[in-house]
Structures are given as structure tokens and as C-alpha cells.
Amino acid sequence: MDKVKKLAKMIDHSILHPALTDDDLRRECEVAMKYDVASVCVKPYAVKKAAEILKGSEVKVGCVIGFPHGNSKTAVKVFEAEQACKDGAVEIDMVINIGKALGGDWEYVENEITEITRVCHSNNAIVKVIFETDYVTKTEDKIRLCEICTRAGSDFVKTSTGFGFVKQPDGMYNYRGATVEDVKLMRKYSGSGVQVKCAGGVRTLDDLLKMKAAGATRSGATATATILEEAKKRYGED
């Protein structure tokens, strides 16, 4: 497999902005097919349509659960995950209950992650657990989450949603998203069977390569075309 192909298979092409229409979904699924990425990551209602568009391709359908803030009850997240699988999703990106993690209710957090992992695996889907590192900022909390995901048998730990907006000193809201430091930490403290996905702020080829070197095997991206066209130029591949 050439370098560009390998990089493409690291990318989950994100189609998650709240204002995207069905026409936008089709266009972005076509981008995903053009570059033969690992998967698309879509909103729950869009799973069926994405599966129809991508039928016959090697691009998998992924779906977000409890997105972007993780505040739904566990039973709702479980239902949402199961329904997404029935609609054709084979990869599930779930957001943890951030408030419970920040409040130290680790029993709740672990039970929820374990339950959603179970329902995903019973439906032949993998699960990626989103920490939202713009909110969960303490190293010890991130380590605890890595340990929980390892015990739960989750397939991936994931940095961010790309929607973890925090009020900045100038009064505007923005997010940091994935960092090399967080990816390294998550790789270090997760079990060998757990992979690391970065998301949020990966917009260039160099961004992707830095995350890969830090231990990420998947990356969320909206700038898929920009990243892979740059890879083609750099590596001289068509």
C-alpha cells in the first residue's frame, strides 16, 4: 500500500456540522469515496442515507452517539447506538458523560462506557470513546479514562469532538481539539488492544503526520481533500 493510501485509511471523514443538508451529505460521501478513506462519521439520522450512498465502496459508515456533549442518559445512548448499527453503522463514536467524569463519578462513567461497548460489539460494530479533552483537562482524569476504556474492551480512545468550545479571554468561543501531548498520553495509558483516534484541529498533512508519530491510528478530518492532495504532491503519487 502506498503512503497516500495508508494515510487515507487513517481518516474518518467528518460530516457533522449541524447545518449540513442531505445534499451536503452526498457531496461529502463522494469525497470520502474519491479518496477511499477509512470511514465517514455522520449524525444518527444520516446513517441510512450514508450507507446507501457508500454501498459497494470500501468506505465504512460511522456514527456519533450522545454528540457533542455526552449528556443523554445511558439508556438513550445505548438505544441510539443500537439504532445506528441497525441503520448500517459499523463504527460508533460515543461521547462520555463529561460532567460525571469531571465530578469524579467514575462508576457511572465506567458503567456507561462498558454498556455501550457491549451493545456495539453485539451488533458487530467497533466503538470509539470520546473524552473531549477541551473539557477533561486533568492528566489524572485522562489516564483514568484510558484505564476504564481498556477494562471495558473499547476499540479506540478519542481526544475530542471538534465542538468542545471554551470561552476565550476575548469573550469568543473556540476549541483546541487534539494535541500531540494528549495522543501520546492516551497511547501510553491505554491497553495494547485499544487504538487512539485524534480529532479536532487536524487540518494539514503535517498535522496528521505528527498525530501518527504520536501514536494515533485514526483521525477525524473535514479537510480530507486538502490533506491528501498535499500528500500526493509530497510523495509524488497519483
Active site residues: 93, 158, 197
Average pLDDT score over the chain: 96
User: Measured in whole angstroms, how far is the alpha carbon of residue 180 from the centre of its chain?
Assistant: 16
Which residues are paired to 16 by β-bridges? none
**Lookup result for grid cell 450512498:** 53
Please indicate, yes or no, whether the overall pTM of this predicted structure exceeds 0.85.
Answer: yes
Higher-pLDDT residue of 17 and 1 is 17
Long-range contacts of 202-211 (CB under 8 A, 24+ apart): 202/177, 202/178, 202/227, 203/227, 204/230, 205/7, 205/230, 205/231, 205/234, 208/7, 208/10, 208/11, 210/180, 211/178, 211/180, 211/183
Q: What local confidence, expressed as pLDDT, does residue 176 receive?
A: 85
Is it the case that residue 175 has pLDDT exceeding 90? no
CATH code for 3-235?
A: 3.20.20.70
